Structure 1
Amino acid sequence: MKRVLLICCLFIGVTIACHAQTSSANNPVEKAKGLQKQLKLSDGQTSKVAAIYKESAEKFDKIKTQDHGNTDKMLADVGPLRTATIKKIKAILTPTQAIKYDKLVTDSKNSTLNGGWSDGWSSAEAK
């Protein structure tokens, strides 16, 4: 009985943790705050990045709906969105921040864990 209770508690804890990570990872404000920490963005820059992420997330949702979950089609259709998102973010960065951002984008693109779908919206075309 104790073992079943322990397994249930562990399952609930993991489920809650996964949901929290997914929610914050997809939240434009949280993503912008993460970038703020990494690049030392001002509050004004962070607000602009959050707006860019929000707009991109809305467009991405439309692409998902339009492509009916067809991964190949989504990958093709999301490329220009990623490129535009990176360019918009880079436009509000200082030259020093832009260099660090390029490294983040490159690192996220090369990561085997996320396949380039991380906060940086990695794309070779954005450089």
Structure 2
Amino acid sequence: MGRLARKKQHKGDKPLKEKYRTKRKTKDLDEIHEDMKPEKSQKLLKQDVDFDKPGAGQFYCLHCAKYFINETSLKTHFKSKSHKRRLKALSTEPYTVEEAERAAGMGSYKPPSKVTVETQSTNMETDDT
């Protein structure tokens, strides 16, 4: 075994690392906070039928930014650990420009406030009432 064979073969191979890093990239928390505003959330939850998306785009989790095949898979997702973890992460107010200025010394520190985030209601539940 020579000197070169002992080296890692992909050390410094940046495109390969980026490919794996961005493979399952989802929306950031601040983008999801923008989607949670009432006018935008209504458009996302009541989308037109699009057969290119899973479940024709009718079963969408607003907090995780994911499409699901049917309503049962969406309801089981609401009970999953990943969804609950995302709700907890969304409970903190998103980082703003004003907070960045305060961190740079242009004001006094104010800790981020908590935002109440609840799981969205499904289409069937809103139709029944």
- Band the TM-score falls in, shorter-chain normalisation: under 0.3
Higher relative contact order (CA 8 A, sep 6+): 1
| TM-score normalised over the length of structure 2 | 0.26
Larger Rg: 2
| TM-score normalised over the length of structure 1 | 0.27
More helix by share: 1
